[in-house]
């Protein structure tokens, strides 16, 4: 008769339990150390929220200035997605989400506008598919033309303005992988590349 419980356990099982405990301890220690050295990234930063709030305020002010009726956080029924602004008299939607912009293009006939990260609200006039009354175009960020935005978009993708559709798609795939938060990038750079690609697509012939 074994004098204690440990003597009743076969040596192989006993060593397995001991080694399992040791490896579990090592793994837990590595996890804690790794989390402290490389904290988990937050999906959206305060800067992203701040930027979107600013753009919302500017667009709201601009639409009021041109006396255009609008709805905020409106769901497009034919696409099942919500947009930041919807102009019911014009069937025009404004979104800040580059991924949603690309998805919506395939599921709705509504005229879509992507308000990029750097776009001042007053420059919404360049995108609206109808005549708007002229307003003073001075802004704290300066005047940015459609050509300027396109040039910046091509630069963000790292391609020339003469690149074909395939080269643009390939550049986008490479850039978006390089700046993805899961691969060491940051949310702001990731969003900027997405917006650049959506801008190039929006203005492509």
CB 104 within 8 A of CB 112: yes
Cα 187 to Cα 179: distance, rounded to the nearest angstrom: 8
Q: Does the pLDDT at position 96 exceed 80?
A: yes
Global pTM reads 0.49
Give the residue-averaged pLDDT of 193-203: 79
More confident residue, 138 or 101: 101
Kindly report, residue by residue over 37-49, the tens digit of the pLDDT.
555 444 444 444 5
CB 153 within 8 A of CB 132: no
Cα 31 to Cα 152: distance, rounded to the nearest angstrom: 40
């Amino acid at each position: 008769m074994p004098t204690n419980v440990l003597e009743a356990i076969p040596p192989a099982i006993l060593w397995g339990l001991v080694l399992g405990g040791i490896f579990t301890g090592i793994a837990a220690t590595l996890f804690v150390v790794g989390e402290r050295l490389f904290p988990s990234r937050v999906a959206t930063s305060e800067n992203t929220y701040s930027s979107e709030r600013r753009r919302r305020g500017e667009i709201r002010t601009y639409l009021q200035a041109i006396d255009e009726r609008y709805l905020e956080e409106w769901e497009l029924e034919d696409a099942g997605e919500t947009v930041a602004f919807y102009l019911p008299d014009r069937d025009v939607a404004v979104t800040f989400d580059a991924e949603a912009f690309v998805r919506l293009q395939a599921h709705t006939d509504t005229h879509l506008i992507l308000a990029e990260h750097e776009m001042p609200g007053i420059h919404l006039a360049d995108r609206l598919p109808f005549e708007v009354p002229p307003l003073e175009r001075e802004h704290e960020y300066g005047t940015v033309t459609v050509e300027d935005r396109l040039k910046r978009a091509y630069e963000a993708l790292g391609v020339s303005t003469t690149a074909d559709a395939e080269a643009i798609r390939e550049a986008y795939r490479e850039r978006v992988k390089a700046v993805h938060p899961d691969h060491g990038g940051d949310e702001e750079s990731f969003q900027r590349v997405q917006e650049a690609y959506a801008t190039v697509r929006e203005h492509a012939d």
